Amino acid sequence: MEAVRYVTMGAREADATLVQEPSAAQQMARQLSEEQVAEVAAAVNSVPDIKEPSDLRQVVEALRSSKQTAFSAEDLASVEAGIAALERPLDARPTWTAQKGRGLFFVFEGLDRSGKSTQSRKLREHLQKENGPESVKWMCFPNRELATGCLIDLYLRRQIELGDGAIHLLFSANRWEMANTILEELNRGVSVVCDRYAFSGVAYSAAKGLDFHWCQAPDRGLPCPDGVFFMRVDPEVGAARANFGDERYENAEMQASVRSEFQLPRLHEGVAWQVVDGGRAIDEIHEDICKQAAVLGQAGQEGDTKSIRGLWMQQQQ
């Protein structure tokens, strides 16, 4: 497999009219000292690349047997719980039971700086106005607050090194750790608006040269969203937006490969995939998304209950 070159394009000037919330990455970065980061790097950088989900346990063992202080025994146990979800064969993956009146599950996907965070937060506000402040939960992947997410965060900021297989599986474990929470929220009538999901997982790893089907396997069976808004922007548009170039994959070459992977029909099979022109004004895009969300919310009702399928479970292996 050809190694990916990480050529940073450099951050462009921020749009002063649009206020950026500090990213979860920045929040997580403040919690670990330089010494702690160095200890984690020393422990995991020597782990060989990984082929099977169970191999990911080597990362946990490397951390457990080192003198690092960033991750507690409890943190490492939670990483192992995420790994256990990936190890399950397909016929042992959970089936999701939907309750009557459940909330809706919307996901935003797209290239870097395509406006996912902006638009997902605006959809949350819109749904809150329509149905009440407690009616929506916003989340994002990677969830950098989880222990798996902390490792992912360190990797994305180039503080630690992990093989392409290992990091792919960690991203998936990070989602499995949240799968029951997503279900619980939906079944208590709360809609979930999510910034990136398994589609990013496959698109970014396949773009590095990993096998597409291998990349899909760990995420199969996760709750399938009711709708995915894919924010389509020209590469130059994303690269010109604030802070582009700060993280590992933010370079023109990688973005072009990710764009091709996102377009593969297999990624959208069985998924309500909506392509949104993300090059327009923020409010215009938002209006469009609100209309589409209303239509998607009506689709697929079985009697009174809208079922929740397992992602990519209908596909041929």
Binding window for ligand Z5A (CB under 6 A); candidates: 12-20, 45-53, 68-76, 265-273:
12-20
The first and second tokens of residue 58, run together, are 């080597």
How many whole angstroms separate alpha carbon 31 and alpha carbon 21? 17
177 binds ligand Z5A (CB under 6 A): no
251 binds ligand Z5A (CB under 6 A): no
117 binds Mg ion (CB under 5 A): yes
E strand segments, the chain: 105-110, 136-140, 191-195, 227-232, 273-277, 301-302, 305-306
Binding window for ligand Z5A (CB under 6 A); candidates: 92-100, 112-120, 184-192, 259-267:
112-120
243 binds Mg ion (CB under 5 A): no
204 vs 229, beta carbon nearer ligand Z5A: 204
Kindly provide the b/e burial profile for residues 236-266, where b requires at least 16 CB atoms within 10 angstroms of the residue's own CB: eebbebeebbbbebbbeebbebbbebbeeee
How many whole angstroms separate alpha carbon 171 and alpha carbon 149? 8
116 binds ligand Z5A (CB under 6 A): yes
Hey, which residues between 218 and 247 contact ligand Z5A (CB under 6 A)? 241-242, 247
Q: DSSP for 16-46? A: TTSPPPPPHHHHHHTTS-HHHHHHHHHHHTT
Contact pick of 39, 164, 250, 261 for ligand Z5A (by CB under 6 A)? 250
135 binds Mg ion (CB under 5 A): no
83 vs 102, beta carbon nearer ligand Z5A: 83
Q: What amino acid is encoded at 270 in this protein?
A: G
Chain residues binding ligand Z5A by CB under 6 A are 15, 18, 20, 23, 110, 112-118, 141-142, 156, 171, 196, 200-201, 204, 241-242, 247-250, 282, 285
